[in-house]
Amino acid sequence: MNGITSLSVIHAYMFGILALLTLATTTVLVLKQLKPGKNFTEPLLRIRTWWLIILLLFGALLLSRGSAIVFFGLISYLGFKEFITLIPTRQADHRVLVWAYCAIPVQYFWAYIEWYGMFIIYIPIFMFLLLPVRMLLRGQTEGFLKTAGTLQWGLMTTVLSLSHLAYLLVLPDDGPAEQMGVGLVLYLISLTEINDVTQYLWGKSCGHRKVVPEVSPNKTWAGLAGGVATTTLLAPLLAPMLTPLSVFHALLVGSLIGLSGFFGDICISAVKRDIGIKDTGTLLPGHGGILDRVDSLTFTAPLFFHFVHYFYF
Q: Is residue 2 part of a domain?
A: no
pLDDT, residue 161, reads 98
Tell me the residue type at 239: A
Phi, psi for 43 (deg, rounded to 5)? -65, -35
pLDDT, residue 23, reads 95
pLDDT, residue 5, reads 53
Q: What is the pLDDT of residues 141-181, one digit of tens each?
A: 788 888 899 999 999 999 999 999 999 999 865 544 456 79
Q: Is residue 290 part of a domain?
A: yes
Give, as one character, the DSSP assignment of residue 212. Answer: S
CB atoms inside a 10 Å sphere around CB 42: 11
pTM flag (> 0.85): yes
Which residues of the chain have a pLDDT value below 70?
1-6, 92, 172-179
Q: Is residue 173 part of a domain?
A: yes
Q: Is residue 1 part of a domain?
A: no
Domains contained in the chain, number = 1
* Full 3-state SS string of 217-228: CCCEHHHHHHHH
- Of the candidates 157, 118, 119, 151, which has an alpha carbon nearest to the alpha carbon of residue 132? 151
pLDDT, residue 213, reads 85
pLDDT, residue 258, reads 97
pLDDT, residue 175, reads 47
Domain that holds residue 135: 7-312
215 alpha carbon, distance to own chain's centre:
20
Q: What is the pLDDT of residues 58-90, one digit of tens each?
A: 999 999 999 999 999 999 999 999 999 888 777
Q: Is residue 299 part of a domain?
A: yes
pLDDT, residue 2, reads 43
